[in-house]
Amino acid sequence: MHALISESNRALIALAAPRELAAALTAFDPRAHETTPHEPITVHPAIDLVRTGVGKSCAAATVARCCALHPYTTVISAGIAGALPVELAPRIGVSIAATRSAFADEGVGAPTGFVPLSDMGFAPFDTGDSIHHDPDLLELLASITDTTGPIATVSWCSGDDGCAKGVVQRTNAIAEAMEGASCALAAKRAHPDIRTGELRVISNTTGNRDTQRWDLDGALSNLTDVLGRIIASI
């Protein structure tokens, strides 16, 4: 386990938004700060952070560039997420290690319903529209989070009940965010043997925006706590 992330097996943790990056900097090195957007920040001999920007394209472009320039053996997408309307929906503040990250809306809207890219012969991963993360890395992340489960990667967040239910139907995910599968795809295209993972803290419910519940500050504080446990685990 200790060899997963070390000075000789360095990890990149990708965060999308400025406040997510700030939460991670607080966890690893409160004295550090971002000097150039999209450039890795060394916060530990075994760990770099990078702010990718929000969304699939920004995340993929930044991670691909970082992996081309640096010999990372692990890439983790981290940040906040929205809880999807499943039977045992994760509560706000709960931390999740993704068992897999699934593209939720890459495909075609047809009269019969959504047709994913994998059904059209254009699957982004060898395993289809989602990637099952490295089991050893998942074990490590599961040891520092509250629960595990699939996380959907969306292009548009679910501010409508029907949209949220559609994401669940297509992916069986318990939460949604905007970067996880893209980070993993970019990392795997750069280095097929690289370990990938996704770690999220629930900041809000999904569905009708008028009835959503949020605790962004609490989720970011929990993100700091969870990320801080990584150093103790390596």
- Cβ-proximal residues to 121 (8 Å cutoff; 6+ apart), any chain: none
pLDDT in tens, 199-221: 999 999 999 999 999 999 999 99
Catalogue all structural domains in the chain, each as residue range(s) with its CATH number.
11-233 (3.40.50.1580)
Q: Examine the pLDDT at 1 and tell me if it is beyond 50.
A: no
| Dist. CA 69–CA 220, nearest whole Å | 29
Q: At what angle do helices 18-28 and 216-233 cross, to 10 degrees?
A: 40
Q: Return the percentage of the chain with pLDDT > 70, whole number.
A: 99
The answer to whether residue 103 scores a pLDDT higher than 90 is: yes
Write the DSSP assignment of 10-68 as a string of letters.
-EEEEE-SHHHHHHHHHHH-TT---SSTTS-EEEETTEEEEE--SSHHHHHHHHHHHHH
What digits encode the pLDDT tens for the residues 158-194? Answer: 999 999 999 999 999 999 999 999 999 999 999 999 9
Q: Look at the block and give the residue holding tokens 């010999």.
A: 71
Residue 154 has pLDDT above 50, yes or no: yes
Tens-digit pLDDT profile for residues 38-59: 999 999 999 999 999 999 999 9
Task: Give the residue-averaged pLDDT of 97-111.
Answer: 92
The torsion angles phi and psi of 41, rounded to 5 degrees, stand at: -120, 120
